Structures are given as structure tokens and as C-alpha cells.
Amino acid sequence: MTTTPDDLWQAYRLRWKRRRYLAHAVRHRHDLTPRHDRTAAIGKGDILAFATVRNESIRLPWFLDHHRRLGVSHFLIVDNGSDDGTTDLLAAQPDVSLWTTTASYKASRFGMDWINWLLMRHGNGHWCLTLDADELLIYPYWDSRDLRALTRWLDGQGRPMFGAMMLDLYPKGPVGDFPYRAGEDPLANLHWFDPAGYGIRVQQPMGNLWIQGGPRARAFFAADPRRAPTLNKVPLVKWHWRYAYVNSTHSLLPPPLNRIYDKDGGEAPSGLLLHTKFLHTIVDRARVEQERGEHFSNSALYDRYYDALTENPDLWTPHSRRLTTWRALESLGLMSRGGWV
């Protein structure tokens, strides 16, 4: 394939973009105050998880246990001004290193400058899983093979990354009518999803996927579907200190890390991030987040989205599918073994 002057120019621009994001991360490290730095306990080959959280005390017990069972050895977490007990809960976990900040989530590129710094400082050479607190990673064989097995296979395939689509889960009925308590399995309440209706394309110049659809697209953004949330992510990466996430974990640099798909017509391995956003807490939380205006670059555009959430919506339809096994999800084309047997 011939390299054109435009290709060289784009490669040059993306190199400088990556360096700029790394510089942002170094600058924003001063936002962070170490509350409990236990990173000295990280061993060679440990799988690490990274997250920025705020007021997630109800979700974190299951989130932590789920990913411990998958094989995460250490969690590196930024607490952005929680006032619901999240900070103390995390501080009490022996496998959590915790930093706190009251700086602006939006000004830190929605927490990614903080996470890029921690990845740069502690993730080099490790398989690193970067998540939100309302995401639970699953993948083919997740119930019988842990992340160490998956990452060994990925290493053998020369794949330094693993992609996953966010799968929005919801109850059958108004989302606020199903009380949830910390430590319970959220999938006991959230066990319905949209099995179809997803759009996918490749974005240039970074070559990342762009997937949209699901209940949020049809219920809240039907009039303007291009504003619907982005569902594609690259949450699991064999990290190098020169890498940088660009837009949440939807894309990263250098560009080859976004090639989580097979360009030759085959299937690449992929998983799912089970998205537990629609616990009963979403109704009150939407009001708070709307007032804070920290979650979107132009928050006013999403006022109707927040308003709809505060009205306790029912996302279930007769076309909804009940969550069962990973094999059923694979049969729908929502995840793939991609040669892993």
C-alpha cells in the first residue's frame, strides 16, 4: 500500500496530539493527592484496573469483587470529591491505591488526564483495564477463564489490546422502581438489553470504531441519533508509557491500538462492558449531574436527556432480550471469540 503525503501529515499530527495529551497528564498530576498509595505491592505481570469515581459507594463493592474474580490484582482509583462514603470504602481495600481530588472533572478531559498520568506512572508493561464504576467486563469464557488466560492468549496473538462494546442493561419497568443495595449483584435487577439496532463505522484519522444504538439512542436521542452515546471502547491494553487515551476509552493513540477489528473480513476477539447505569439511583443522580454540568462538553445540549432520566423512564419493549449466557450474546454478534478456543 502506497504511503501518500496526506498519510505522512496525518501521522505527524497524531504523534503531536499524543504528546500533547501526555503533557496534559503530566500537568494534571498536581490535581491528585495520594490518600493510600499501595503501588509498591504491584508485582511483575499483575493485571491492573484504573478508574475515576464520584459517589459510587453503592456500586463499588460488586464492581471490585467482579473484577477481582476476573484476575485484577490491584486497582488504581481517583476519587473526585465523593461525599457518600466512597472515599472511606476505597481506603479500606488492601488492593486499592487511592488518590483524591476536588478539581474539575470536565477540565481534566473528563478524568482522562488523571488516568493517563496513573497509567504512565504505574501501568507500563502491565495489562491495564480502564473502566467506569458502572461497567462490568465480560468476554468469551469469562465464567471459566480469567484475565490471565485471556491476556496470555492475546500476547501470543500479538494483540496488545482488547475491545468491548458497552451493553446498556435495564429492568422491565420504570428504572427507579427496583431498589438495589450495595454488595448485591446488579444483574439481578438489570437483566434486559437491546439485541439489535446498533450502527457501526470506522472513524478517521485514528481508525477507531464508532458504535451507537441501544436503549439510550432509541429512548432519548431518536430525534438526533448522532448525539447518542458512543458504545465502543478499548478498555484492556498492554500499556506503554507513551500511550494515551483520547476520548474516554473510546479511542487512544498511537492509532494501531484502535484496530480492535479484523480488516480482512474475519472476526477479532471482543467482549462486552455490561453497563449498570440504570440502577434506581439514576433518577436522583441525573438531577445532580445536570446541575453540576461536568459530564458533557456542551451540557446544555443534554438537558432533555437528563430531564427524561428524572422522569423514571421504562426502557423495556417487547423486543428486549433477557440477559443469559455469554454464548447467547456471541450468537447475537455482540461479542466474539475471534479464534480463541
pLDDT in tens, 92-106: 999 999 999 999 999
Contact at 8 Å (CB) between 244 and 114? Answer: no
Supply the pLDDT for residue 165: 98
**Mean of pLDDT over the chain:** 93
3-class DSSP state of 236: strand
Supply the pLDDT for residue 299: 56
- Contacts of residue 281, Cβ cutoff 8 Å, sequence gap at least 6: 58, 180
Grid cell 445536570 is found at: 290
pLDDT band at 270 (very low <50, low <70, confident <90, very high): very high
Question: Would you kindly state where each structural domain of the chain is located, as residue ranges?
Answer: 13-331
Supply the pLDDT for residue 113: 97
Q: What is the mean pLDDT of residues 164-182?
A: 97
Instruction: State yes or no: pLDDT of 286 exceeds 80.
Output: no
Supply the pLDDT for residue 296: 58
Supply the pLDDT for residue 77: 98
Identify whether 61 is preceded by a cis peptide bond (ω within 30 of 0): no
Residue type present at position 288: V
Q: What is the mean pLDDT of residues 248-277?
A: 93
Distance CA 76, CA 49 (A): 6
Q: What is the DSSP track for 237-282?
A: EE--TT-EEEETTTEEESGGGG--S-TTSS---EEEEEE-TTSTTH
Q: How far is CA 265 from the centre of its chain?
A: 26
Give residue 10's region: left, alpha or beta (phi > 0; psi -120 to 50).
Answer: alpha
HEC profile of 106-163: CCCCCCHHHHHHHHHHHHCCCEEEECCCCEEEECCCCCCCCHHHHHHHHHHHCCCEEE
Region 13-331: CATH code: 3.90.550
Q: What is the mean pLDDT of residues 33-56?
A: 97
Per-residue pLDDT tens digits for 208-231: 999 999 999 999 999 888 889 999
Q: What is the mean pLDDT of residues 115-135?
A: 98
Supply the pLDDT for residue 225: 87
Per-residue pLDDT tens digits for 300-321: 656 788 788 889 999 999 999 9
Supply the pLDDT for residue 292: 64
- Contacts of residue 332, Cβ cutoff 8 Å, sequence gap at least 6: 195, 196, 321
| Burial status of residue 28 (CB atoms within 10 A of its CB: 0-12, 13-18, 19 or more) | buried
The total number of residues shown for the chain amounts to: 341
Neighbours of 197 (CB within 10 A): 12
Distance CA 67, CA 134 (A): 12
Q: Which helix (H) or strand (E) holds 30?
A: none
% of the chain with per-residue pLDDT over 70: 95
Q: What is the mean pLDDT of residues 157-172?
A: 98
Q: Which helix (H) or strand (E) holds 285?
A: helix 282-292
Distance CA 240, CA 254 (A): 10
Which position has the higher pLDDT, 300 or 78? 78
Supply the pLDDT for residue 301: 59
How many CA atoms does the CB half-sphere of 6 hold within 13 Å? 3
Supply the pLDDT for residue 6: 85
Supply the pLDDT for residue 263: 79
Grid cell 432533555 is found at: 304
